[in-house]
Structure 1
């Protein structure tokens, strides 16, 4: 099963697992924000071939709640990152906003960026896989600086097609319990994402 559409399952490893152990309210010493914002070059997809037309993707707008440096703002940032940006980036190929929110050391964020870039290079397109957050909560680790966010998200089935419209890969989707480490460094930064549980395919 390609990692691309199994939301986080193969991508959230290494640093994200360490963040899960060290970025919860009971984890002991409070962390000091030291991450940097991503400085990658991120541009919309470009191609010399003419792929099968894909659905028009509208760039999502950051929710107003992301303007507050508190638990509600952290939850809003996490939901926006997973529910709005993830699918938009795969459908459009535009990684600009995702890269702007991702910390340089977020292994999941980097894995997703790499996969989208590979998709663009191969002149493939992606449809489906909308992510819906069905439950979420946040807690402060070091109020005003770092937060933990727990999310339950359902991902719909998806397909990846080549330039001629042939299906390259498919994924049935699923429902996931996720953990995100979210820090405020002159704005929200996603430090890590990890899967806590997988509940199988979503109901039709």
Structure 2
């Protein structure tokens, strides 16, 4: 597993992490791994983890660390992650970051870059209002202003403290997530070209 490029996208819900990860996925042969997508797939499949996770996610709370790290550990051993991967939505707490570091170290790899997409809360509420209006009947159950408010509280209390954790390791870069989508992508590409 040497030579893998491992990138973590940080930022509040709705900041564009998933969209940007998808844009970089093919260019750099990095598999986008969204823990939210992994969990939603488990919910759809009705697995034991999925049933347990559904009630937790619907409440805007976090799934237990050991479940998430174990799921990621298994996933990154798959052939489509051979050249590396982008983690979107994980870690969300300092203990998760520490557990992720330990799991990666046991596999003989390390994080290449941590990129924060910075967006103010008020802009995120504008974005979700627009997304719900555009999605109509196809909107996700957890895609609404009340859930966003809860998720932002969790982000600011539990996830934002990870930023200094990675900053002290020299891994953190910040990108203005309010820039036009293509400009954000160019900024991200510049960071990846350096690492």
TM-score by length of 2: 0.24
Q: Give the number of the structure whose residues are more often helix, by fraction.
A: 2
Return the structure number with greater relative CO, CA threshold 8 A, min gap 6: 2
